[in-house]
Amino acid sequence: MLFTAAILGIFVYGIIAAMLGTILPDLSKKYSLSPKQNGNIALIQAIGLMIGSFFSGPLMDLYGKQLGMLIGLGLVALALLSLRSVKGYGPVATAMLVLGLGGGVLVSGANGLNSEIASALQTNTSSISNLLNLFFGLGGLVTPLIAANLFKSDSKKLTLFAAVLAVIALAASVIAPYPPASGKVSFNFKMATGLLTDPHLVLPALFLFLYVACEVGVWNWLARHLIAQGVPEKRAMTILSLGFALGLIVGRVGISRVLVTVDPKTVLLGAAIAMALTTYLMLQSKNPTIAWIAIFLGGLAMAPVFPTTLGYVSDAFKAAGTEATALGIAITAGWAGIVASSPIIGGIAGDDPKGLKKALLLLPAASVIMAVVAFVLPSLQK
């Protein structure tokens, strides 16, 4: 039941993570939202994610991960239901802020269960983390398909569907047998300073910042790059969703078995090197088939990074009783990558669509830095 509750929570987050890009066209048409307002809404949601992740960790260390899951799913359901009735830029932005807050708490809570589930199943934490986050990829994959084919891009129907799933996930968390809180943490600046100088947290947090910036760069900009190279828009979107998303899903299934015998540091180093190669190859071809292959391989390379890094942090801070706090800080660093990625890429690209190719070279460059970080990452004692 605990694994089921975690799966449902991550699946719901996968749906809401892919939701903004799916519902914004409909909301923009209804309320005459400008591109600048759309960008501000995305930024506000990312800020909500950062706040939710950062402050939920100490709360869950003190009062338990069940409380975090219930708060996160409750906020998500509230925000989704609010989006059905809000009108205008301000109310939409407020609802997206609440959705971000709930999503940040939810991701920290669900991933905080990795070590508990791994102990119960007598397996590797990072392996469980990859299996769990497979359902994030599934949520992200099905959202645009359901929106387009079942709900005909009606934002009210999609948000109601997602809200119902959030309520079901909340019910599962109510009855699941959550472990007791460690009760060892009270959030203060002295404690935060200690964690923020620990290489077991600082380096994974930097790793996640760079990784999320790369992943968001692919999601937000690669289709536009392909279109600028002459690939038809519909084909470009299909390449992205069925190439990159499928690669993420397949990669997380496969790497969960590898992590049973291979340590997380080795996996992260290999993934970063593979990311550097594949993100560079993504930018080199105008042929849709070759582009799809490169993007699929990029998804495979990126697949283990986020969950394996969280598994590493869980193992590093579990014994100290600060696991949820450390996870919250690491995840917050990842969300900061969302805030930084698109403005930097867009600023370098400028108004010329073909300038994206130069701007997107930041992805392999960031991947090389990730490889250096992984190389110096301390190995965990067995």
Q: Are residues 343 and 240 in the same domain?
A: yes
Same domain (yes/no): 271, 308: yes
**What is the DSSP-derived secondary structure letter of residue 381?**
P
The verdict on 277 and 337 lying in the same domain is yes
Work out the average pLDDT over 288-299. 92
Residue 291 within any structural domain of the chain: yes
Mark whether 158 and 193 lie in a shared domain. Answer: no
Task: Quickly count helices (H) and strands (E) in the chain.
Answer: 18, 0
Average pLDDT value for residue range 3-29: 83
- My answer on whether 170 and 299 are in the same domain is no
* Residue 140 sits in the same domain as residue 226: no
DSSP string, 100-153: HHHHHHHHHHHHTTHHHHHHHHTS-HHHHHHHHHHHHHHHHHHHHHHHHHTSTT
Q: Is residue 182 part of a domain?
A: no
Residue 160: pLDDT band with limits 50, 70, 90: very high
Among 147, 177, 207, the domain-final residue is 177
- The domain that holds 336 is classified in CATH as 1.20.1250.20
Q: How far from 205 is each of 65, 199, 217, 282, CA to CA, in Å?
A: 21, 9, 18, 26
Contact 112, 326 (CB under 8 A): no
The answer to the question of residue 137 being in a domain is yes
- Do 318 and 195 reside in the same domain of the chain? yes
**Does the residue 171 lie in any domain?**
yes
Task: Kindly tell me if the per-residue pLDDT of 98 is higher than 80.
Answer: yes
Q: What is the pLDDT of residue 191?
A: 58
For the cut 70, the answer to whether the pLDDT of residue 148 exceeds it is: no
pLDDT range class, residue 189, cuts 50, 70, 90: low
DSSP string, 255-271: HHHHTTTS-HHHHHHHH
Of 115, 149, 177, the last residue of a domain is: 177
Let me know whether 202 and 320 are in one domain: yes
Residues 218 and 360 in one domain: yes
The contacts of residue 178 (CB under 8 Å, 6+ apart) are 2, 64, 65, 66, 69
Q: What is the dihedral of CA 10, 16, 17, 23, to 10 degrees?
A: 160
pTM of the model: 0.78
Residue range(s) defining the domain that contains residue 158 = 1-177
For the beta carbon of residue 53, count every other beta carbon within 10 angstroms: 29
Indicate whether 117 and 240 sit together in one domain: no
Chain segment 47-81, per-residue pLDDT in tens? 999 899 888 877 887 888 899 999 999 999 999 99
Mean residue pLDDT of the chain comes to: 85
For position 353, what pLDDT does the model report? 59
Note the pLDDT of residue 186.
47
Q: How many domains does the chain have?
A: 2
Q: Does residue 371 fall inside a structural domain? A: yes
Same domain, 258 and 121: no
Indicate whether 224 and 86 sit together in one domain.
Answer: no
